Chains A and B, each alone.
Chain A
Amino acid sequence: MKIYVPADALARALGADAVAAALAAAAAARGLVVQILRNGSRGMAWLEPLVEVETPEGRLAFGPFSGADAGALFDAPEAHPKALGLTEEVPFLKRQTRLTFARVGVIDPLDLADYEAEGGLAGLRRALAMRPEAVVAEVADSGLRGRGGAGFPTGIKWRTVAAAPGPQKYIVCNADEGDSGSFADRMLIEGDPFALIEGMAIAGLAVGADKGFVYIRSEYPDAIAVLGRALALARGAGLLGASVLGSGRGFDIELRVGAGSYVCGEETALLNSIEGKRGTVRAKPPLPAIEGLWGKPTVVNNVLSLATVPIILARGAGYYRDFGIGRSRGTMPLQLAGNVRFGGLFEVPFGLTLGEIVNDIGGGTASGRPVKAVQVGGPLGAWFPPALFDTPFGYEEFAAAGGLIGHAGLVVVDESADMLALARFAMEFCAVESCGKCTPCRIGSVRGVETLDRIAAGDGTAVPLLRDLCETMRLGSLCALGGFAPYPVLSALDHFPQDFARAREAAE
């Protein structure tokens, strides 16, 4: 009997290790021989820990599972109170199009044979048989854009690095996933680390880089541990090293751990951090593609961008490009978070409306109260009110509505949320995390907190000042931290003016 219990950090934070131990003990007490495998998460947070049992018909799901549910799984599985039926038939999963996350929650993350049996390494094998320019062209033709948030076409970035002169080039994976509401990078690394490794190897072969770095945040201890073991296994199996899969072409990856700085998720700050410096932002140009790590041409891509490359190579650019809308091609792993009934990861082609995502997929709020707003794209993303729920999920579509999709994290708040307090938090966060290099961000964020405190105290004359300050930060900051912090602030002010007038009205 084969039983799956996720070792994903979220499942473990909800007691998955105790569940695994209880299942082992209950099986032993009944004299049953069971194999307990630790997989990634299927991404349905409200059902975690989600236990699965393999049957000839497919896997049966049970959740949210606790240690007390273990005995019944062996004694009367059909009548188990936590039974959910076949995993693949759970509506939240059935409605998805899993390309990047096809194997997450399905395979043993550290079993290379399992990885290969589920389609892994097909992309790398094909890439090894192609000319590097053709690999770059395939990625460009797929329409894949940077999944970290900026949305820059991945193929164009690769082409720039491939064309840049110099014997030493680098592939840098940005796994500094600091945005609140985002956890796709973490889930991918914990659930299918070889997909990232394979994607980086393809990138290295395509642009002529023999060295890669993964920069992962220290707040992700489980992901760090899984990736470290996966890298060692990949080296042992010849997937990484002096001759990738016996091709005679070399590529290796080094894991670097951040140290609690949000701004290091900005690509130039990240490069400085890998170099062992303060994580301050660099002025662009020069682009990292021309002068990146130690001044060498460098591809900097997000985890999801790189982990999507293998399936593009395996299935072809057209297969991927045929999903999506407008200039947003392929699928996006949406992350539903905060006060949401059905939170988790939902990979789907671009194009659903925000309302469909929040209400149909997310099921509205966890509290049962009306949705007040949704912050899309992390702490620097705009708050969307229900009035904008007809906005289709795509890069240009969200920009046109005054926001950004960022890394596709969505944080739902209910009507009890105080939008002035959340606007203040955005400025406070910016002040705490500013690298200090540019004045609009370093000073502006502090002044922003003060100005919002004046508004909170009933000083309505501070509102125009706040708008003026946001304009300065937006136009004058060196990077997205100071430049985008005005998004949550101004969207809160524009869509929820009543939250900014409460003290003033009370005084009058």
Chain B
Amino acid sequence: MPEPSQTNRVAEICQAHAGREGALLPILHAVQAEFGHVPSETLPLLAKALAVTVAEVQGVVSFYHDFRAAPAGRHVLKICRAEACQAMGAVALAEAAKARLGVDWHGTSAGGVTLEPVFCLGLCAAAPALMLNGVLAARVDVARLGEMLAEAGA
């Protein structure tokens, strides 16, 4: 069962999107922005608000890479894996990140950094690119990545 405060907040989010056609994705984005993930306890609330089955909501949540079933670490590092970044050393950059953090893709380090792959940030003319806690960086080498993690306290 969801906590009462959680129930109230989810109800408010659904209310804010009431009358909007096809509102599930905007609602899920709002729920994740609120709680840092999409808590499984909230799925029945969303299903009821949108008059769909819990299975349908679960299906949508699990389809999209952005939606998390559990909270991420304090920091989220997304490194581009796509071809343009590969052409400029993204594979080595990702390997260095994994080694430094001691995790594989989707893992969270002891220091609280969640490492995610991303397929293109649209900075392909200044590759390789990454996003740390929502901030984009381009032409990143291993040394710069280390500085960025240190600056973030990660």
A residues adjacent to B (C-beta < 8 A): 9-10, 12-14, 45-46, 48, 177-183, 186, 218-222, 256-262, 273-280, 294, 335-340, 343-345, 366, 375, 379, 409, 411-414, 417, 422, 425, 429, 432-433, 435
Number of A-B contacts (CB under 8 A): 157
A13–B82 Cα gap in the complex (Å)?
17
B123 near A9: Cβ-Cβ < 8 Å: yes
A259 near B28: Cβ-Cβ < 8 Å: yes
Please give the distance in Å from B29's CB to the nearest CB on chain A.
6
B25 near A219: Cβ-Cβ < 8 Å: no
Q: A259-B25, A337-B124, A425-B86 are in contact. List 17 more A-B contacts (CB 8 A).
A: A10-B122, A45-B125, A46-B125, A178-B120, A182-B124, A218-B29, A218-B66, A258-B66, A259-B65, A261-B63, A337-B127, A338-B127, A344-B125, A411-B83, A413-B83, A425-B83, A432-B119
Pairs of residues from A and B, 5 with the lowest C-beta to C-beta distance, nearest first: A343-B125, A276-B24, A180-B82, A260-B65, A45-B125
A344–B84 Cα gap in the complex (Å)?
12
A262–B117 Cα gap in the complex (Å)?
13
Given A294-B21, A337-B127, A338-B127, A177–B60 Cβ distance below 8 Å? no
A409–B125 Cα gap in the complex (Å)?
10
Please give the distance in Å from A334's CB to the nearest CB on chain B.
11
The residue that A181 contacts in the complex, of B83, B131, B134, B137, with Cβ under 8 A, is: B83
A259 near B138: Cβ-Cβ < 8 Å: no
30 sample A-B contacts, Cβ–Cβ < 8 Å, listed by A number: A9-B121, A10-B125, A13-B137, A45-B125, A178-B120, A182-B124, A183-B122, A183-B124, A186-B122, A219-B121, A219-B122, A220-B121, A256-B25, A259-B29, A259-B65, A260-B64, A261-B63, A274-B22, A276-B22, A276-B23, A277-B24, A278-B63, A280-B63, A337-B125, A338-B83, A338-B124, A343-B126, A375-B83, A411-B124, A433-B119
B136 near A179: Cβ-Cβ < 8 Å: no
Task: Answer yes or no: B129 CB below 8 A from chain A CBs.
Answer: yes
Please give the distance in Å from A152's CB to the nearest CB on chain B.
23
B60 near A276: Cβ-Cβ < 8 Å: yes
Task: Give every chain B residue within 8 A of A344 (Cβ-Cβ).
Answer: 125
B123 near A183: Cβ-Cβ < 8 Å: yes
A257–B23 Cα gap in the complex (Å)?
11
Please give the distance in Å from B46's CB to the nearest CB on chain A.
10
Task: Give every chain B residue within 8 A of A261 (Cβ-Cβ).
Answer: 63-65
A13 near B29: Cβ-Cβ < 8 Å: no
The residue that A182 contacts in the complex, of B118, B122, B136, with Cβ under 8 A, is: B122
B129 near A13: Cβ-Cβ < 8 Å: yes
Task: Give every chain B residue within 8 A of A280 (Cβ-Cβ).
Answer: 63
Task: Give every chain B residue within 8 A of A337 (Cβ-Cβ).
Answer: 84, 87, 124-125, 127
Task: Give every chain B residue within 8 A of A429 (Cβ-Cβ).
Answer: 82, 119
Task: Answer yes or no: B98 CB below 8 A from chain A CBs.
Answer: no
Contact with A along B81-100 (1 / 0, CB 8 A): 11111111000000000000
A10–B124 Cα gap in the complex (Å)?
9
The residue that A279 contacts in the complex, of B28, B63, B81, B139, with Cβ under 8 A, is: B63
The residue that B125 contacts in the complex, of A257, A278, A335, A435, with Cβ under 8 A, is: A335
Task: Give every chain B residue within 8 A of A12 (Cβ-Cβ).
Answer: 136
Q: Quick one: closest A residue to B117, CB to CB?
A: A432
A409 near B124: Cβ-Cβ < 8 Å: yes
A273–B119 Cα gap in the complex (Å)?
19
A278–B87 Cα gap in the complex (Å)?
32
The range of chain B's interface size is: 35 or more
Which residues of chain B in 95-154 are interfacial with respect to chain A, using CB atoms and an 8 Å cutoff? 118-127, 129, 131, 134, 136-139
Task: Give every chain A residue within 8 A of B129 (Cβ-Cβ).
Answer: 13
Please give the distance in Å from B129's CB to the nearest CB on chain A.
7
Task: Answer yes or no: B59 CB below 8 A from chain A CBs.
Answer: yes
Please give the distance in Å from A164's CB to the nearest CB on chain B.
19
Task: Give every chain A residue within 8 A of B88 (Cβ-Cβ).
Answer: 338-339, 366
Please give the distance in Å from A175's CB to the nearest CB on chain B.
11
A13 near B126: Cβ-Cβ < 8 Å: yes
Please give the distance in Å from B61's CB to the nearest CB on chain A.
9
Task: Give every chain B residue within 8 A of A180 (Cβ-Cβ).
Answer: 82-85, 119-120, 124
Task: Answer yes or no: B11 CB below 8 A from chain A CBs.
Answer: no
A35–B52 Cα gap in the complex (Å)?
53
A345–B83 Cα gap in the complex (Å)?
17
Task: Give every chain B residue within 8 A of A412 (Cβ-Cβ).
Answer: 87
Task: Answer yes or no: B26 CB below 8 A from chain A CBs.
Answer: yes
Task: Give every chain A residue within 8 A of B131 (Cβ-Cβ).
Answer: 219
A14–B50 Cα gap in the complex (Å)?
43
Please give the distance in Å from A382's CB to the nearest CB on chain B.
12
A433–B81 Cα gap in the complex (Å)?
13
Task: Give every chain B residue within 8 A of A48 (Cβ-Cβ).
Answer: 126
B87 near A338: Cβ-Cβ < 8 Å: yes
Task: Give every chain B residue within 8 A of A273 (Cβ-Cβ).
Answer: 25
Given A276-B25, A278-B63, A429-B119, A335–B124 Cβ distance below 8 Å? yes
The residue that A14 contacts in the complex, of B65, B122, B139, with Cβ under 8 A, is: B139
Given A9-B122, A183-B122, A260-B66, A379–B83 Cβ distance below 8 Å? yes
A411 near B66: Cβ-Cβ < 8 Å: no
Please give the distance in Å from B60's CB to the nearest CB on chain A.
6
A411 near B87: Cβ-Cβ < 8 Å: yes
B87 near A339: Cβ-Cβ < 8 Å: yes
Q: Quick one: closest A residue to B78, CB to CB?
A: A219
A12–B87 Cα gap in the complex (Å)?
22
A218–B21 Cα gap in the complex (Å)?
20
B126 near A45: Cβ-Cβ < 8 Å: yes
A414–B64 Cα gap in the complex (Å)?
34
Please give the distance in Å from A363's CB to the nearest CB on chain B.
12
Task: Give every chain B residue within 8 A of A222 (Cβ-Cβ).
Answer: 136
Task: Give every chain A residue within 8 A of B66 (Cβ-Cβ).
Answer: 218, 258-260
Please give the distance in Å from A462's CB to the nearest CB on chain B.
23
Which residues of chain B in 56-70 are interfacial with respect to chain A, using CB atoms and an 8 Å cutoff? 56, 59-60, 63-67
Please give the distance in Å from A205's CB to the nearest CB on chain B.
21
Please give the distance in Å from B89's CB to the nearest CB on chain A.
9
B67 near A10: Cβ-Cβ < 8 Å: no
Please give the distance in Å from A441's CB to the nearest CB on chain B.
15
